[in-house]
Chain A
Amino acid sequence: MNVLLAEDSLTMRRLLASQLQGWNYGVTEANDGAEAWELFQNSHFSLVLTDWVMPGMDGLELIRRIRESKHKEYVYILLLTTRSANENLVEAMEAGADDFLAKPCNPKELRVRLRAGERIIELERTLIRQNTRLKQAQAALVQSEKLAGLGQLAAGMAHEINNPISYVFNNLSVLQRDTQAVMKLLERLEPCLPLLRQADPEQGQQLTAAMTACDVPWLQENLPKLFESMQDGLARVRRIVSNLRDFAHLDEALWDNMDVVGALESTVSILAAELESRQLTVDLQADDRPMIHCQPAKIKQVFHGILMNAIQASAAHDLVKIRVSQVKSFVTVEFTDEGAGMDKVTQQRLFEPFYTTHPVGAGQGLGLAISYGIVKQHSGTIDFTTKPGEGSTFRVKLPITAWAPAKSRTATV
């Protein structure tokens, strides 16, 4: 461990330094408070040993500055002084010193006090590590709760939207069919106009005017296009609803045994055109050919979604690596790309439905949300590591024998 030693007396400093080195501490020496503060700012020290009385910045001022610097890790400070009255002790402790040692100090005492400091630093570090882990676990929990909530919302929406879509879609077909009949009627009416004008000029005039106002040729040309456009739009809505149902796994799929490597190979071949157009290479390697019990259609959808994302993140000539490994009763599939990586916001919102980095309308932003839902349903996990500019790795971990969970609560909305 490195110790920052601040002491204006050269003899004293050398003595202390040689003692510290003898106990295997690294020592950085400063001959006054200002130099110590300078050194502290440049590199971090967990342990500081400082004299109280020094020219310029004294020990107390140094301690105050260190305490105010709000370092992430705790700094243990031992104050050395010839002042040993009680009020001195209070003043030193109030400034932020952890311990107080009278000069000249007994080497044995100095050593045990330094060790006490080390223990506290170690405890502090453990605490920070555990705190970080706790925070990560909490974030994961919040994420999973949020997605469960969204799943429920999606299920409710999918159901509620489905009924109106059903009859609107039907009405559109009816309207299209009946409008065609009306247009045919108009076509047959037109040749009769001269006859009508002869028989009843006034009625004939009125009907001609009405037909002109309708702009029949425009209708003939454009009504079919209007219907087509509406059909397309509605088909898109239907697809979104169907994807939402997948996210909320409202529909039940078949369970079967699946060859993981085979499934990956077929996914890669489905995306062959995409890979070729971007001149990407896929490197698929597996220790073995593990079989898992799963819903093959849905797991292939997960592989497809992740590989598609990797393709979209990659630049020309990049390599996409797929690794399959088996540890105990789990099979892990890793997809690594050399692409752009993801920023903080994307990392946090990745699995949310409708979150997309593509322009609105280009992708629906449901791919990873659905994948998350599917993997969760298989009692598996999906996670990732990413570095902006270097690429991302997605890891799907699936149990070899996934039990079909009891009807999930999202399905009973």
Chain B
Amino acid sequence: MSTGVKPPILIVDDEPDVLFSLKALLRHDFELYTAESGDEALTILSQHPVHVIMTDQRMPGMTGVELMNHARAQYPATVRIVFTGYADIKAVVQAINSGGLFRYITKPWDPDDLIETLHLAAKRYEEKSARAQFAADVKAFVSDAMTLIQSTVGSEFADDVASLIGRAERISIQADTLPQEPTG
């Protein structure tokens, strides 16, 4: 919100009335995409950058948790939320514990709480992508610096250069393996 750009969000529910209702609630705060099924949701994810995806659990065809597993594999940066009116908590708890979900929301939801939760989720996405961007920047910088050093430094410093290359490679690997999710 600080940037004035609305975070793009995808909402999935098989009931059009729920989608319409949520669109009305969230239109000021978010750039909204909606899908009535898991398949439709995956198509949208392949066409648009989506920061947060929120899905109903019980849907004909693909369930919410199944959709989340697909989304996690293909778009790991996307923050994932499941909401459901059912008490089939078990599937959802499992999804949260296996590390896939950001939140679990029950129907009926509280409108103010929902907006707040979605903002938190969007913020989580920004943090995650900032980390990823930082890691990529570090890697690119190290790579450029090494190329420059190798091409300009004389052979009398060969041992020092070899040591620097070793350190650069370690830093690049570390940048790749930075944790995606902040802990806690």
Q: What is the distance, in angstroms, from B115's C-beta to the closest C-beta of chain A?
A: 10
Query: Are A159 and B86 in touch, CB under 8 angstroms?
Result: yes
A395 within 8 A of B: no
Residue from B17, B86, B89 within 8 A of A167 (CB atoms): B17
Closest to B107 in A: A166
Is B49 on the interface with A (CB-CB < 8 A)? no
Verify if A325 is at the interface (C-beta below 8 Å from B): no
- Stretch of A9-17, A64-72, A168-176, A337-345 lying at the B interface: A168-176
Contact indicator A170/B108 (Cβ below 8 Å): yes
A163, A170, A238 interface centre (most CB from chain B within 10 Å): A170
A166 to B86, Cβ gap below 8 A? no
From B15, B21, B25, B108, name the one whose CB has the most chain A CB atoms within 10 angstroms.
B108
Q: Give the segment of A37-45, A120-128, A245-253, A296-304 that binds chain B.
A: A245-253
Is residue A144 within 8 Å, beta carbon to beta carbon, of the partner chain?
Answer: no
Asked if B141 CB lies within 8 Å of chain A CBs, one says no
| Top 9 A-B pairs, shortest CB-CB distance | A167-B21, A166-B108, A173-B111, A166-B107, A162-B85, A174-B24, A170-B21, A250-B87, A251-B87
- Asked if A105 is an interface residue, CB under 8 A from chain B, the answer is no
The verdict on A162 contacting B87 (CB below 8 Å), with A167-B18, A170-B22, A171-B21 known, is no
Task: Tell whether B134 is near chain A: CB-to-CB under 8 Å.
Answer: no
Chain B residues lying within 8 Å of A166, measured Cβ to Cβ, are 18, 21, 85, 107-109
A162 touches B107 (CB 8 A): yes
Please, how many angstroms separate the alpha-carbon atoms of A178 and B21 in the complex?
Answer: 13
Residues of B within 8 A of A171 (CB): 21, 24
Q: Assuming the A-B contacts A166-B107, A173-B111, are A159 and B85 also in contact, with contact meaning beta carbons closer than 8 angstroms in the complex?
A: yes
User: When A170-B25, A252-B87 are in contact, do A162 and B108 touch as well, CB less than 8 Å?
Assistant: yes
**CB-contacts of A227-271 with B (<8 A):** 238, 245, 250-252
Q: What B residues does A56 contact at CB under 8 A?
A: none
Q: How far is the CA of A238 from the CA of B25 in the complex (A)?
A: 20
Given contacts A163-B15, A167-B15, A174-B25, 9 further A-B contacts (CB under 8 A): A166-B107, A170-B21, A171-B24, A174-B21, A174-B111, A178-B24, A238-B108, A245-B87, A411-B87
Contact with A along B102-141 (1 / 0, CB 8 A): 0000011101100000000000000000000000000000
Interface residue A164 (Cβ < 8 Å from any Cβ of B): yes
- Distance of A236 Cα from B108 Cα, bound (Å): 13
Q: For the complex, what is the distance from the CA of A252 to the CA of B91, rounded to whole Å? A: 13
Residue of A nearest to B14 (CB): A163
CA distance A38 to B22 in the complex (A): 83
The reply to whether the CB of A165 lies closer than 8 angstroms to some CB of chain B is: yes
What does the 1/0 interface line of A164-205 toward B look like (CB < 8 Å)? 111101110110001000000000000000000000000000
Given contacts A163-B18, A164-B17, A174-B21, contact A169 B108 (CB under 8 A): yes
Q: Which residues of A contact B107 (CB under 8 A)?
A: 162-163, 166
Neighbouring A residues of B20 by C-beta, 8 Å: 167
Q: Mark B15-47, 1 if CB is under 8 A from A, else 0.
A: 101101110110000000000000000000000
B residues lining the A interface (CB < 8 Å): 15, 17-18, 20-22, 24-25, 85-87, 89, 107-109, 111-112
A-side interface size class: 10 to 19
CA distance A159 to B15 in the complex (A): 14
What are 6 A-B pairs with beta-carbon distances under 8 A? A162-B107, A163-B18, A170-B24, A171-B24, A173-B111, A174-B24
A173 to B109, CA, bound (A): 11
A252 to B21, CA, bound (A): 29
Chain A residues near B89: list those with CB within 8 A.
Answer: 252
Chain A residue numbers with a CB within 8 Å of B111 are 169-170, 173-174
Closest chain-B Cβ to A181's Cβ sits at a distance in Å of 10
Q: Which residues from 197 to 216 on chain A have a C-beta closer than 8 Å to any C-beta of chain B?
A: none
Q: Which residue of B lies closest to A175 (CB)?
A: B24
Identify the closest chain A residue to B17 (Cβ).
A167
A250–B107 CA distance with the chains assembled, in angstroms: 14
- In the assembled complex, how far is the CB of residue B19 from the closest CB belonging to chain A, in whole angstroms? 9
A178 / chain B contacts, CB cutoff of 8 Å: 24
A347 to B15, CA, bound (A): 43
Of listed B22, B25, B87, B112, residue having the most chain A CB within 10 A: B87
Q: How far is the CA of A174 from the CA of B27 in the complex (A)?
A: 10
> Which residues of B have CB within 8 Å of A174?
21, 24-25, 111
Give A160 Cβ to nearest chain B Cβ, in Å: 10
Q: Report the minimum CB–CB distance from A164 to chain B (whole Å).
A: 7
Question: Chain A's nearest CB lies how many Å from the CB of B58?
Answer: 9
**Which residue of chain A is the closest to B25 with respect to CB atoms?**
A174
When C-beta atoms are compared, the residue in chain A nearest to B19 turns out to be A167
- Shortest CB-to-CB span from A176 to chain B, Å, is 9
What's the least CB distance linking A412 to chain B, in Å? 10
Q: How far is the CB of B55 from chain A (nearest CB, A)?
A: 14
Bound-state CA distance A159–B18 (Å) is 15
Instruction: Name the residue on B nearest A242 (C-beta).
Output: B108
Residues of chain B with a CB closer than 8 A to A238's CB: 108
Q: Say how far A352's CB is from chain B's closest CB, in angstroms.
A: 23
CB-CB nearest in chain B for A248: B87
Considering the chains assembled together, what is the distance between the CA atoms of A238 and B15 in angstroms? 19
A178 to B89 alpha-carbon distance, docked (Å):
34
Q: Looking at A163, A164, A178, A252, which has the most chain B CB atoms within 10 Å of its CB?
A: A163
Residues of A within 8 A of B15 (CB): 163, 167
